[in-house]
Amino acid sequence: MSTTPKRPSYLLLCIFSFLLNALLFPQQNPQPAKPRLPTIDYLHLPPELAPTLQEAAKNRRYLDIARALAEEARKLEDPSLIRAFTCFVIDFHSKQLTWSLFFTKNLLPGESIYSMRLNTDTIVPNSGEQPVEEELGRLLQRARAKYPKNLHLEFAAAYYHHQGRRFLLKPPFTFTPEQTYAIYENAYEQKIYTPNSLVFTALVRGERKQKTDTIDELLRRAYHLNPNNPKVLEALLNHLLHQKEFKQALSIANQLFTNAATPEQKIAGYSGAARSFFYLENYESTLTAVENGLKLAPNHTLLWAIGLDTLRKQKRWDDYEKLVRGVLDRQPESPAPFIDYLDYLRLRGVTPRDDSFVAAYAEEKGGSDMARITRHTNAGNFHLTLFADGPAALKQFKKAKKLSKKLKNPPPDMTRVIDGFIEKAKNTNTLRKAPRSKE
């Protein structure tokens, strides 16, 4: 019998190689990342409470945290703990949703605010408890009386009013935006902040063009503290778009859409995604985002403009005209959508397809008399405002005038408005070149 050792089989070699690669290069086969939860580190909890409450936060036992903090805060012994309790209740009870739900709806036992929107956990008050905002307001009043001009309590009170100002029927104290900003700025220097206060500080610095180099740091810190906060996500998204960091902006736009608390925030997610896709030259995804966004907000001018830009880029003129017509037809008797269209043409330039579309649009026979009047006046303004073509505009305005006489109950001032257009067209004789598109 041969004593030569057998060579390991090919299968065994493959298994060994796979295991070795898994050990040496685990990043090549990463596990799906778990969604990050908000942190409560920014509350700066006392050492004796921090470990227990942080563990509770990891398991989303927010009500346990609120009860523990409330018990300590009601003793009025530690202003920093009262501030922590205030910020925690505001940030996690409402989960950054509009406080209108938080303040105006009496939750049923076991019912959560987030379950109405996103099926996510939140603090649920017991049946029969007094509204938490009233208890919180009274607690802050007592604490501020005991510790006047304490920064922790001034921050807590300003935060309470700032986050609930639209919904507090009788706020126990008020702060102007300037006062709130000053308190937030002063508190930030002492490392006192929340995700929402960081966003507000960043936005005000941007508006005032003060410390603009710190805006990125503020927003990214807010995002680190709570990556699911829609207000943080929306502010960071706009910042990244402004900085032309489109790949990062796209990621944040998707997060915003997922975590949106209001229809407006969902639309902002679609808008941000559309803008990001457009600048990344992914035009099909741009149009998908535009289409979905317009289903939620049919008159969203920015989404409409992004869609028009995209279709021009691709020279898809039939779809371009269809998108223009779709928005105009939603309000056939209102000049408002056409004014948006004129603004777009003034900014982006007129194409031959716009010329032919407006000519056909003006002469359509369908619809109500009011809709036909609107089409003629719109077409007249197209010629007048973009080309200073008085004769072409006058022709359309006269048709509108003739149709207006058929109306039994014309809108107030209609005759005066159309006569004003006619007079302006008569006095406009100098043609000018309209802004022409290069597409």
User: Looking at the domain assignment, is residue 24 inside a domain?
Assistant: no
Quote the tokens at residue 136. Answer: 């919180």
Q: From CA 308, how far away is CA 340, in angstroms rounded? A: 12
Whether residues 101 and 204 fall in one domain: yes
User: Looking at the domain assignment, is residue 165 inside a domain?
Assistant: yes
User: Looking at the domain assignment, is residue 29 inside a domain?
Assistant: no
| pLDDT of amino acid 20 | 38
pLDDT 10s per residue in the chain (439 long)? Answer: 444 444 445 444 454 444 434 443 343 333 333 456 678 888 888 888 888 888 888 877 777 787 788 888 999 999 999 999 999 888 876 443 333 333 333 444 444 444 433 333 444 444 444 456 677 888 999 999 999 999 999 999 999 999 877 666 678 899 999 999 999 999 999 999 999 999 999 999 999 998 889 999 999 999 999 898 889 999 999 999 999 999 999 999 999 988 887 788 889 999 999 999 999 999 999 999 999 999 988 889 999 999 999 999 999 999 999 999 999 999 999 999 999 999 999 999 999 999 999 999 999 988 899 999 999 999 999 999 999 999 999 999 999 999 999 888 888 889 999 999 999 999 987 666 666 776 6
Contacts of 273 (CB under 8 A, 6+ apart): 250, 253, 254, 257, 285, 289
Each residue of 131-170: pLDDT tens digit?
566 778 889 999 999 999 999 999 999 999 998 776 666 7
Q: From CA 256, how far away is CA 248, in angstroms rounded? A: 12
Number of domains in the chain: 3
| HSE-up (13 A, CA, CB side) for residue 298 | 8
Whether residues 403 and 358 fall in one domain: yes
Q: From CA 384, how far away is CA 394, in angstroms rounded? A: 9
The domain of 231 spans 227-314
Whether residues 190 and 102 fall in one domain: yes
Burial class of residue 157, CB neighbours in 10 A (0-12, 13-18, 19+): buried
Whether residues 169 and 87 fall in one domain: yes
The answer to whether the CB of 142 falls within 8 A of the CB of 134 is no
User: Looking at the domain assignment, is residue 22 inside a domain?
Assistant: no
Whether residues 163 and 269 fall in one domain: no
Query: Of 231, 304, 227, 316, nearest to 271 (Cα)?
Result: 304
Q: Phi and psi dihedrals of 436, rounded to 5?
A: -100, 140
Whether residues 60 and 142 fall in one domain: yes
Local structure of residue 90 (DSSP, 8 states):
I
Whether residues 195 and 277 fall in one domain: no
Crossing angle of helices 246-259/230-242, nearest 10°? 160
Contacts of 189 (CB under 8 A, 6+ apart): none
Q: Taking CA 190 as the corner, what is the angle to CA 164 and CA 226, rounded to the nearest 5 degrees?
A: 50
